[in-house]
Amino acid sequence: MEFTLSVPVTHVLHIGAGCGVDVEGYTTAGLDPVVLVDADPEVVTHLQTRTGGLSAVRVVQAAVSTRKDAQLLFRTNFSELNSLSRPDQLRELFPGLTILAEEPVELVSPLQLLDELQFPQDGVGLLVLEAPGETTGILAALAEAGRLTQFPVIRIQEGGELLHDCASGLAAICVQLRAFGYDTWVEGDAADPDRPHVVAYRGSAGAHAEKRLDELEAAASAQSEALAEATSARDSARSEAEGLAARVAELDVAAAAQSEALAEATSARDDARSEAEGLAARVAELEAENERQAQELEHRTKVSQTGLRRAEGQIELIKDLLLRGETL
């Protein structure tokens, strides 16, 4: 658990410590001593095992009560709900809750507990009460004896409604604490919304708490502003990203069209190239044919010229013979 009280405290007395989920928070915050009290011997054994080696921690088995009739420990199948008061109303919240045993216990008064512990008189003490049905009696006994002043800070977990036979309820506890000079407020518990915490401060602790609360509210306001700025920046970035995505889509379409046009142009070029190669081959064939025909024409011309000269020679011979009166 993270110890989150807004007032620095020096030591703690936790009555009804249960399985000790708060121990790490106490020790991390440097509290010394850390006194954990529980009426259930099995829970105490678990706490001793869990805190072994922690010099600041002391575990005490004690059934703390001011009620003479609180002679039994009601052990249930949910150890965190064990108490000195019959938990009949709790069954509405926890239908599976079962009382496993009703064990006799020896009661210890709050004053007797403090005397036996020799709890520090100085420093800033924190009193934590998770003792349904016993809270108002413990507070009243300590206040009457002038011992409540040892605890400027008090933290109590109690049902918003009456969950145990002898419980007083959250509202009555707050009224009692204010009558003892404490400022109080209620903190919800996400893990157990039906049993919120009452936090109470008195004297300088209260002033410190108010100052710390103002600081926290200022920090929360700054965080809220930062969150609003971050949200605005996120929305702007998201809008810009959407615009870029649309532009990318347009470019993709244009690229696809260009790719298709390029494919068509490439195909046309290849067709033209193939046709040009065919024409070139045809031209070559025609040129070869023309060359052959020219050569044949030249040959025939030469043959014709030779024949012509021969004929001319024969004509001249005939003419000479005729002129001489000779016959062939």
Whether 213 and 6 have beta carbons less than 8 Å apart is answered as yes
The structure tokens listed for 280 are: 């070139």
pLDDT at site 27: 93
Whether 39 and 153 have beta carbons less than 8 Å apart is answered as no
User: Edge-to-edge strand order for the sheet containing 34-38?
Assistant: 57-61, 34-38, 11-15, 125-129, 153-157, 197-201, 183-187
pLDDT at site 118: 85
The angle, 0 to 180 degrees and rounded to 10, between the axes of the packed helices 135-144 and 110-117 is 70
Radius of gyration, alpha carbons of the chain: 55
218 Cβ contact partners less than 8 Å away, ≥ 6 residues apart: none
Give the integer Cα–Cα distance in Å for 140 and 170: 15
pTM: 0.61
pLDDT at site 139: 96
Give the integer Cα–Cα distance in Å for 118 and 312: 163
pLDDT at site 68: 84
Whether 64 and 40 have beta carbons less than 8 Å apart is answered as no
pLDDT at site 122: 84
- pLDDT tens-digit profile, the chain (328 residues): 445 666 789 999 999 998 898 999 999 999 999 999 999 999 999 999 999 889 999 999 999 999 887 788 888 888 778 888 888 777 777 788 888 999 999 999 999 999 998 888 888 999 999 988 899 999 999 999 999 999 999 999 876 565 666 667 788 899 999 999 999 988 765 555 666 788 999 875 445 545 555 666 677 788 888 898 898 889 989 989 999 999 999 999 999 999 999 999 999 999 999 899 899 899 998 989 898 998 989 898 888 888 888 888 889 888 888 888 765 5
Task: Kindly report whether the peptide bond that precedes residue 95 is cis, defined as omega within 30 degrees of 0.
Answer: no
